[in-house]
Amino acid sequence: MRSSSPQAALNCRSQQPTRLTEPTRLIERDVELETLTRALSDCAAGEGGVVVVRGVVGSGKTTLLHVLTQRAERSGAVVLHAAASRSEQDRPFGVISQLVRTSGLPAADIDPLLKRVESETPSVGPHAGTADIDPAVTMGLERELWELIRRQAESRPVVIGVDEVHDADRASLDSLLYVARRMRSARVLLVLNEDCRAHQTYPWFHAELFRQPNGRRLKLPLLSADGVSRMIADVAGARPPEESAACHRVSGGNPLLLGALLEDARPPAGGRPAPLVPGEAFRQAVSNCLYRCGETLRDCARVRAVLGDEPASPAVLAEVLGLDTDTARQATEALVAMGLLDNGRFRHEAVRDAVLDSMTPDCRSRLHADAARVLRNHGRGSIDLARHLIAASPFGESWATPVLLDAARQAIADNDVTLAIDSLRAAHESCADERQRMTVLSALMRVQWRVNPAAAVRHLPELTAAARLNKLSAYEATQLIAHLLWHGRTGEAREVFTATEETRKRNPLGADEFDDALNTARLWLGFSCPGPLPEESAGAAARHSLHRRALSAMYEALTGSGAGSEFLDVDEAIQRFSVDNEGFLPATAALVVLIYTDRLDEAALSCDSLVEDARKWNAPMWCALLQAIRAHIHLRTGDMRRAADAAREALQAHPVKSWGIFIGSPLASLVLSSVAAGRHQEAEEYLRVPVTTGMFRTPFGLDYLRARGRYFAARGRPHAALGDFRQCGELMGNWRIDLSAVVPWRTDAAEMCLALGRKQEARQYAREQLALLRPDERWIRGTTLRVLAASEESRDELPLLRESLRLLEEYGDRYEQARTLLDLSLVHRSRGDVEAAHTVRMSAARLADACGFELPGDERRPGTRHPAAGSGRVPEPRECEGHLALSDAERRVASLAVAGRTNRQIARQLFLTVSTVEQHLTRVYRKLRVRSRTDLTAEILDGAIPPSDDCGAGPHAGRTATGGHSPRTVPT
């Protein structure tokens, strides 16, 4: 239980801050300095006087007194000066001792007095006055002090200056009054600097002082906007008007704070002027002000800092401070006059930070706890209270947990995820009931997952242990299963499912809730780790939640056991997410259904809309997941450039460890798009990213395996590629989800069989794939027909390729369209129709340029085969005689350039676009370290061409320019 004493929370400074030197340049102090100068002249003429200079901390009182005493010394006057301090208030005559020691008088005149001060006035406690000391001693001291001053004044003026007189000891104040009452006709000037509120501390002193007819008062105002500009110009040079105005707003015109701002902006030797923004010197100046202004004002500033921007009435402030309302109001007015506050708030966040830094962490925590109690009594809302309870956590009072939970709910609704997480964390730390703690921890895990799943994983062990002990609700257990599966913890997820089933059997009450939760968890298991599922619990379908229906639709679409969309209203799911942040799961399930049922246009539009909603809900992980799905949609439409951008943005948003088993999806998109663009080294880097082994037991592992297989195919490793594709088929068969919409592994395997020269096996795979397709599955049918065409006799190729092209155009996959067009071009060319081949090839090239993938040229050296449209091996640059070796496409372009062909002639001869030719030449120049076409010679080009070992892997890899097929020899 925390102490609720306000003073216990406030009296917690560890040490006194370093005192800063006040500015020595006087700005807007002409009137005050003239008044003091006139008083000095009157003193020299024999008319003594008292001047009290009043101003807030930092207003320049010390500087003004310093300028006056310098003038007095130059004029030949005797100057006695002292600076009072609260730390010496328990030393009687401490200020008088300073005055005598600093006077510069002969030792014979002052030694007797100093000895009496030191020997006869020991410390007798705070605020000791003449009444607390032997009257004979005080009377003797005061008389000797006056006699010393009077004797000096007979020959020359005496100026007595006391800074911060409001902090002087009582005995010294009495002595100063003794002198003031006797100096009217003596050449003595008494100048006292004090705080604006000093008359409230020592009213008797001011009443007695200003009974004298020779007393004057001066009040130093803060600097005006013009004064701030002048001071900036004097110290830092000319600055823009808006910068001066900003400095006036930050400092409030307080010369001390303004001087600190200028100190922070002081450039290093020879450096450029720095911006006038608060820094370390400014924060130290604020701390200095708080120390010098007194305990009450310092405490008021601390409470204001703890309350932040919350409006605080004097009653609230007084209750937290433990003071009366009038005192709290006066303290606030004093902080405003000092330039720290404006309209009840700190002028700048740096001021508040400095005040907070002046407190110890424990002090801040206690003040936040006191503020929470007071604000609760004044009827503040949960959000306001939560900010203080979080700072005071752990908070031991029972009312805190419900307030924090309500604040978390409101914060989520307001998209303030940070406040929601902090509120739930504080509730978890403060909650004494174990069952409620688990509820809070479950909510914390779900909210943290939205921001960073890696941060939520730390809660899984504690929640799993609670689930085994039946301490979680049905909903909480379902959410825990989903998070365990996300991180590949399949065994623990099944344990939690079993424990929840046991709880259901022992608890007939709430059966419907448990049944729906268990069936939802069952579908989670089925989607994340396919295989035999637990039996479905009984329950009316009408009572199923939208989450349950969404998972059912996604599972049916995945397994092909239903149309998927008939179990889920896609529009309802997506619209739900736009108004309810709990609708993320149904919305993403709707996207999966749309993708697996070949409704890509709807999926793309819905995904873009959901990304905007996810940003609105301040859920970075949701945005990343949706970007990964968007990348998958781009792949299905053949837009490799945008697929790579979306997948890269998804992965950049969160580290790999946050992705769990889902990491396979964005990595697969990046590998496939890189392979299609011919960036094989980049694809290899993505394949080096470490992934969890649990991913390969999920559908996301299928995407990854297929992408890796396509990489092996592009690298001329058809055996390794075929192994990955067959592994996909084996896993899908075991899981009973052998659906081509998920991974068309048979079509991929058929391509690799063609690359290996096993035409009959390729034909068998392709025909088996076609037999399994539904009539509406255009994408796989079109791709498979292209592969089948390569395995058939020449007379059957053209109709199959045309049908493939028609289906792919209807579906919208431009990458597969380009591959089919390239095969059509080769068929036309093999039959002698060069014009048709060129036209078709140019159509393929335009698609490649638009969508960011690479088409190789069709010029071939004897004994090599043609890598068709990114499906074959595109040679990587290699080191050769100090240069990067050229790829096949680059070598062909460079050879024609050396032969004197123009870019347009090269484009026509190689069936490329002019833009593609220019890109190839740019890479050639860079690799061969030449600057232009004129530097490119046959000798340089020949030295950069390594022995040929490339091999194609496309369905038409063996076709020659004159028809027929070359021997299908593939190096192992």
Q: How confident is the model at residue 82 (pLDDT cuts 50, 70, 90)?
A: very high
Indicate whether 76 and 128 sit together in one domain: yes
DSSP symbol at 274: P
**278 occurs within a structural domain:** yes
CATH number, domain at 158?
Answer: 3.40.50.300
What pLDDT is attached to residue 916? 81
Work out the average pLDDT over 749-764: 93
- Which is more confident, 630 or 208? 630
Question: What's the residue count for the chain?
Answer: 972
Indicate whether 253 and 349 sit together in one domain: yes
What pLDDT is attached to residue 965? 32
Report residue 391 as tokens: 């700072």
pLDDT digits (tens, 9 = 90+) for 775-786: 888 999 999 999
| Structural element, H or E, at residue 738 | none
Q: Is the per-residue pLDDT at 739 higher than 90? A: no
Indicate whether 440 and 513 sit together in one domain: yes
Indicate whether 171 and 37 sit together in one domain: yes
CATH number, domain at 894?
Answer: 1.10.10.10
- Which is more confident, 121 or 469? 469
**341 occurs within a structural domain:** yes
Output b/e per residue, 937-948; b: 16+ Cβ within 10 A. eeebbeebeeee
Q: Is 395 left (phi over 0), alpha (psi -120 to 50) or beta?
A: beta
| Domain count within the chain | 7
List beta partners, residue 51. 191, 216
The residue out of 185, 219, 253 marking a domain boundary is: 219
**794 occurs within a structural domain:** no
Dihedral over Cα of 657, 658, 661, 667: its sign = negative
Indicate whether 266 and 288 sit together in one domain: yes
Report residue 874 as tokens: 């595109």
**Can you tell me whether residue 970 is helix, strand or coil?**
coil
- Which is more confident, 394 or 789? 789
DSSP symbol at 222: P
The overall average pLDDT reported for the chain is 81
What is the separation, in whole angstroms, between the first and last Cα of the chain? Answer: 75
CA 702 to chain centre: 33
DSSP for 408-455, please give it: HHHHHHTT-HHHHHHHHHHHHHH---HHHHHHHHHHHHHHHHHH-HHH
> 441 with 428: CB under 8 angstroms?
yes
Q: Is the per-residue pLDDT at 12 higher than 60? A: no
What pLDDT is attached to residue 13? 44
List beta partners, residue 163. 83
Indicate whether 244 and 346 sit together in one domain: yes
Percent of the chain with pLDDT over 90: 35
Percent of the chain with pLDDT over 70: 83
Closest CA to 945 of 881, 885, 892: 885
Q: How confident is the model at residue 806 (pLDDT cuts 50, 70, 90)?
A: very high
Q: Which residues of 173-214 form beta strands (DSSP E)? A: 188-194
- Which is more confident, 134 or 863? 134
Q: How confident is the model at residue 537 (pLDDT cuts 50, 70, 90)?
A: very low
| Rounded distance between C-alpha atoms, residue 842 and residue 846, angstroms | 6
Report residue 377 as tokens: 């009594």
**836 occurs within a structural domain:** no
User: Could you give the C-alpha distances from 246 to 250, 347, 402, in angstroms and in order?
Assistant: 6, 11, 43
What pLDDT is attached to residue 589? 84
The CB-based long-range contact list for 581-588 (8 Å cut-off, 24+ gap) reads 581/412, 581/413, 581/617, 581/619, 583/546, 584/614, 584/619, 584/622, 585/547, 585/550, 585/551, 586/546, 586/547, 586/549, 586/550, 587/613, 588/625, 588/626, 588/629
Indicate whether 70 and 211 sit together in one domain: yes
pLDDT digits (tens, 9 = 90+) for 818-831: 999 999 998 888 88
Indicate whether 504 and 577 sit together in one domain: no
Q: Is the per-residue pLDDT at 24 higher than 50? A: no
Report residue 52 as tokens: 């009290």
What pLDDT is attached to residue 501? 85
> 60 with 223: CB under 8 angstroms?
no
pLDDT digits (tens, 9 = 90+) for 205-254: 878 887 877 888 899 999 999 999 898 888 877 777 888 888 999 999 99
pLDDT digits (tens, 9 = 90+) for 425-460: 999 998 888 999 999 999 999 999 988 888 899 999
Indicate whether 38 and 170 sit together in one domain: yes
**847 occurs within a structural domain:** no
**Can you tell me whether residue 931 is helix, strand or coil?**
coil
Q: Is the per-residue pLDDT at 858 higher than 60? A: no
> 574 with 587: CB under 8 angstroms?
yes
Indicate whether 325 and 439 sit together in one domain: no
**785 occurs within a structural domain:** no
The residue out of 368, 394, 422 marking a domain boundary is: 422
Gyration radius from the chain CA atoms: 43
Rounded-to-10 torsion of CA 387, 391, 396, 401: 30
| Rounded distance between C-alpha atoms, residue 725 and residue 722, angstroms | 5
Contacts of 926 (CB under 8 A, 6+ apart): none
Work out the average pLDDT over 51-63: 91
**939 occurs within a structural domain:** yes
pLDDT digits (tens, 9 = 90+) for 275-328: 788 889 999 999 988 888 878 889 999 999 999 877 778 888 899 988 889 888
What pLDDT is attached to residue 562? 58
Q: Is the per-residue pLDDT at 142 higher than 80? A: yes
Indicate whether 491 and 441 sit together in one domain: yes
Report residue 213 as tokens: 């007819």
**20 occurs within a structural domain:** no
Pairing mode, strands 879-880 and 215-219: unpaired
The residue out of 554, 584, 618 marking a domain boundary is: 618
> 552 with 568: CB under 8 angstroms?
yes
Closest CA to 19 of 351, 280, 291: 291
33-47, 445-459, 842-856: least confidently modelled range = 842-856
What pLDDT is attached to residue 6? 45
Work out the average pLDDT over 663-689: 93
pTM to 2 decimal places: 0.70
In which domain, by residue range, is 240 found?
Answer: 224-353
What pLDDT is attached to residue 816? 92
Work out the average pLDDT over 393-404: 88
**Can you tell me whether residue 637 is helix, strand or coil?**
coil
What pLDDT is attached to residue 201? 66
Q: How confident is the model at residue 120 (pLDDT cuts 50, 70, 90)?
A: low
Q: Is the per-residue pLDDT at 728 higher than 80? A: yes
DSSP symbol at 757: T
Indicate whether 316 and 392 sit together in one domain: no
What pLDDT is attached to residue 51? 93
pLDDT digits (tens, 9 = 90+) for 917-960: 888 888 888 878 777 777 777 656 655 544 333 333 344 443 43
